[in-house]
Amino acid sequence: MRLFLDTASVDEIRAAAKLGVISGVTTNPSLWAKAGGGNYRDVVMEIAAIVDGPISAEATSREVDGLVEEARRIASWHPNVVVKIPIDEVGLEATSRLAKEGVKVNMTLIFSANQALLAAHVGATYVSPFVGRLDDVGQDGMIVVAEAVEIFDRYHLPAQVIAASLRHPRHVTQAAQAGAHIATVPYAILMAMLRHPLTDTGIERFLADAAKAEGQRLLEPRHDP
Ligand code: G3P
C-alpha cells in the first residue's frame, strides 16, 4: 500500500517528502483553505516540484461542460496532476468524458461500495472512500474500502482505492489489511505512525549505555607492546 500525504501545506509536504515514504499528495478546497489559500495552481505547482507522484487537485464546477473544461485546465498544470471530482450525476458524466481523453480522475466523496463501482465503471483512475466521515456518523467506513477492493479485484477493474479521511494510525493499518492500494494521511497521522514511546526510551538507553561503555574503554589500562 502506497502512502500519499493529505494536505495542501507545502511545509508539511516538504517535511514528509524528506522521509522518503510519500509517493503522492491529495488536496481539496478545505485543505487548500486551511493551508492559507492563494492561487491553487501555484500551490499545486509548488507541490509538484517537491513530490514526483500523483497530486490530486479538486475541481468545483457543478455542471458537466464546465466541469470537463475545468478538469482539462487543472490537468494541464502538470503531468502528475490528477483531477479530484466528487461523485454524483455531474461528476460521473464528466469523468466518463475525461477518462476517454486520458485525463486522470480521483473520484472523491465516496461513501458506499456501489458509488465506488460506478466511479470505476466510468474510468476513474482512483476512487476515494472517506473512512473517517462514515465513522463519524456511526458506520464502519473501512468496510467500504474492503468492499471496493474486493469488487475491483474480482472484476479486474483497474481503478485504485485510496483510503481517505483517515483519522488515526490504526486506520492506516486497517486500510493496508483491507487491501487499499493507497492510504492518504494527514501529516499528524504520518508522524503518529512513526513515533512510539518505547522507541524513544530505547534510543535514550542505547545512547546512555554507549556513553557508559565509552567511559569504561577510556578507563582500561593501556597495554603497550
Ligand atoms: O482527501 C480529503 C479527505 O481525506 C477528507 O478528510 O478529515 O476532512 O474527512 P476529512
State the pTM of this model.
Answer: 0.94
Amino acid at position 171, single letter: H
Are the C-beta atoms of residues 183 and 24 closer than 8 Å to each other? no
Residues 213-222: pLDDT tens digits? 988 887 877 6
Domains of the chain: 2-195 (3.20.20.70)
pLDDT the model gives residue 218 = 76
Residues 146-178: pLDDT tens digits? 999 999 999 999 999 999 999 999 999 999 999
pLDDT the model gives residue 225 = 62
Are the C-beta atoms of residues 184 and 128 closer than 8 Å to each other? yes
β pairing state of 55-58 and 126-129: unpaired
Indicate which atom in ligand 1 lies nearest the CA of residue 30: 8
Residues 72-98: pLDDT tens digits? 999 999 999 999 999 999 999 999 999
pLDDT the model gives residue 1 = 98
Pick the residue whose CA is nearest to atom 10 on ligand 1.
165
Query: CA nearest 54: which of 179, 130, 162?
Result: 162
How close is the Cα of 82 to the center of ligand 1, in Å? 17
The catalytic residue positions are 84
Indicate which atom in ligand 1 lies nearest the CA of residue 128: 1
pLDDT at 224 over 70: no
How close is the Cα of 134 to the center of ligand 1, in Å? 11
